[in-house]
Amino acid sequence: MKVVDKVQFLAYNPGVTPREGGLPGLDVLKNVISSINLFGIIAVVGALAISALVWAWGHHSGGHQAEANGKKGTVVAAGCALLLGAANGIVAFFSAMGTQVH
């Protein structure tokens, strides 16, 4: 095999794959990320409650700007909750898609 062919082969397949347990502290990192995710979900619950209150207050007081901001906040909080809950699935999906790229 020529040197050019070897370099070209390595460019397509460097032989690197994710492996669990390769570095110390992986369990600690998983716990930290899980805690951050939980903190985010709790913050989204608060943001959703506040946005819903602003939406209701704006609707009943005739404050169209407050009502619109409450609606936007509610949608953003719901979207954040969706992304936080689906984070593992999204990463796993795109990681699997990335393994198919050649």
Tens digit of each residue's pLDDT (9 = 90 or more) over 1-45: 677 776 666 566 666 777 777 778 888 988 999 999 999 999 999
pLDDT higher than 60, residue 70: yes
pTM metric for this prediction: 0.72
Please, are residues 14 and 31 in contact by the beta-carbon 8 Å criterion?
A: no
Q: At what angle do helices 64-85 and 26-61 cross, to 10 degrees?
A: 160
- At 16 the three-state DSSP class reads coil
* Separation of alpha carbons 54 and 70, rounded Å: 5
